[in-house]
Amino acid sequence: MNAKKAPSPRVKVALLLALFALLAGCVTTAPKPTTVEKETVFYPLPPDPPRIQHLATFASARDLGAARSALADFIAGEDKEGQELQRPYGTSVFQGKIYVADNRLPGLAVFDLAAKQFSVVSGSGAGRMQRPINVTIDSDGTKYVTDTGRNQVLVYDRNERFVTAFGGKDEFKPVDTAISGERLYLVDIEHHDVRVLDKRSGTLLFKFGAPGAAAGNLFQPTNLALGPDGDVYVVETGGFRVSRFTPEGKFVRSYGEAGQGPGQFARPKGIAIDRAGRMYVGDAAFQNVQLFDSAGRVLMAFGQPKEGAGGALNLPAGIAIDYNNVELFRRYADPGFALEYLILVVSQFGPNKVDVFGFGKMRGVQYPPEAVPEPEPAR
């Protein structure tokens, strides 16, 4: 019985080329972007008039909607490791790019909305990140990254080139920063205080807060934000509250307490404040974000967990508000919903992602007048 003759090298090459051509031809159009939801999700729920719409979700390179062939999927896989968020915490937006601090990559995951490209900035040499937690971006594009692996604030320019690092050995354990003029406010979870640095040199100007539960003290502060009047709002994850200080560090008041009702906290983390003074506080235990008015009264909550629902949150962490990139997201909004600004919320757990919400009003809908803020406490 004669054995089959093995194909010649020329035949093998022809067969491989035919296989590749077949795979490449399986998909000829771009995949549908996963950032487009099947249903429109508004908060609060009816019959209340809508104020917040879930717009999009970003978890991997796929969510940018870039075209990709079946051949590319066959060679590189659906979502090649390093092309998706793994353990994100804080986020910021600058000139059409969403930056996400991810401590497992480790580095800054960058979703370029215009170019539809995903990249990771990890730094190199003296600027290599170890455990980045949050990123704050100045108006000139300078990025300040809090790194709890190095216990430093790492500074990069607008082109992601390393500039310098703030913080010596055991000086602080930074989790979050905020910028006001030439000042860099830094929350130190280890020493339970807020450090105020010169944003260019890193020189300590002053600090405020001390360990404890009394008014004006801080316990396990993790995140901070600046109000439109320059006041500093500090989330105390271990203190179950938000403490407010003047720009010079004088205690003003606190918001919230431990509990499970509206206006109470169980594991507060991220915080952001809009231009009207409305305060957004995320809670990793409640799996939602509570919205307060400038007087601290609860307005609503959004992002409650629901499997497969748009805007469902899992261990929400960093929150950011952005007014400059609204145009990039209008196509996701309901045609009758007038967007005013964006709210970005990071989920740390299953799946790791950034959800983008829009704050606004539905055209033609009558909204109740907003409550008049209470008088500010004497300072």
Q: What does 133-196 look like in DSSP terms, one character per residue?
A: EEEEE-TTS-EEEEETTTTEEEEE-TTS-EEEEE--TTS--EEEEEEETTEEEEEETTTTEEEE
- For 274-289, write each residue's pLDDT tens digit: 999 999 999 999 999 9
Confidence of residue 350 (pLDDT cuts 50, 70, 90): confident
Q: Model-level pTM?
A: 0.86
Count of all residues that appear for the chain in the document? 379
Biggest CA–CA distance in the chain, Å, is 103
> Nearest CA to 316 among 280, 356, 288?
288
Res 146 pLDDT > 70: yes
14-362: CATH number: 2.120.10.30
DSSP per residue, 2-42: PPPPPPPHHHHHHHHHHHHHHHHHH--SPPPPTTS-SS--E
Q: What pLDDT digit, counting tens, does each position of 63-108 carry?
A: 998 655 454 454 444 555 568 999 999 999 999 999 999 999 999 9
Backbone φ/ψ region at 263: left (φ over 0), alpha (ψ -120 to 50), beta = left
**CA pair distance 130, 146, nearest whole angstrom:** 10
Three-state SS at 331 = helix
DSSP for residue 265: B
Which token pair is 6? 């093995």
Q: What local confidence, expressed as pLDDT, does residue 133 receive? A: 98
Mean pLDDT, rounded, for 262-280 = 97
pLDDT at 263 over 90: yes
Structure-model confidence comparison of residues 56 and 8, the more confident one: 56
